[in-house]
Amino acid sequence: MKKLALVLTVSMLPLAAIAEDYVYDPGTYWTVTAVDTHPGHFDDYLENINGAWKKSMEMLIADGKVLSYRMMYNVNGANDEPDLYLMVEWKSGAEMLDTPRSYYDAQNEKLFGSLDKGQEQNIKRGEIRTIMGETLLREITFK
């Protein structure tokens, strides 16, 4: 067993050396949500997320889970492209993937007063927008 451990340790050394030779460093994780607003409801949607979504992001930042958030408007989007991208920079992949559902339930109760009222708001948002997809990205920077 000791020989196997020694062989595995020695065989991993070149990988560590190679990793240092990369021209980039891995950075933070980002979720990017593509949103298509229904015709005539772009401003309605922005008004809506200026409330709950923005407060939610600020709560996540205060709790140390999120570093930043941004919105990007697709200025010259085609008919089959989203109008808006909501971007969230997570402190770590673990914060994004391993935060228990109970945390978000408690956050919704703070934002809306109850889970039922939060669900009602989510349904109303669904009437003015369509989520086209969500992507998980990891930032890389050159050394």
Q: Which residues of 54-74 are buried (b: 16+ CB within 10 A; e: fewer)?
A: eebbebbbeeebbbebeeeee
**9-15 average pLDDT score:** 49
Is 87 within 8 Å of 72 (Cβ atoms)?
yes
38: domain CATH number is 3.30.70.100
34 belongs to a structural domain:
yes
135 belongs to a structural domain:
yes
Amino acid in the structure at residue 19: A
Question: pLDDT digit string (tens) for 98-116?
Answer: 999 999 999 999 999 999 9
Pick the range with the lowest mean pLDDT from 1-5, 38-42, 81-85, 136-140: 1-5
Domain containing residue 91: 23-142
Among candidate residues 26, 32, 27, the one with its CA nearest the CA of residue 88: 32
Is 31 within 8 Å of 87 (Cβ atoms)?
yes
48 belongs to a structural domain:
yes
17 belongs to a structural domain:
no
Q: What is the number of domains present in the chain?
A: 1
pLDDT of res. 35: 97
31 belongs to a structural domain:
yes
2 belongs to a structural domain:
no
Q: Which two tokens stand for residue 42?
A: 């772009």
Is 56 within 8 Å of 110 (Cβ atoms)?
no
Bigger pLDDT: 9 vs 20: 20
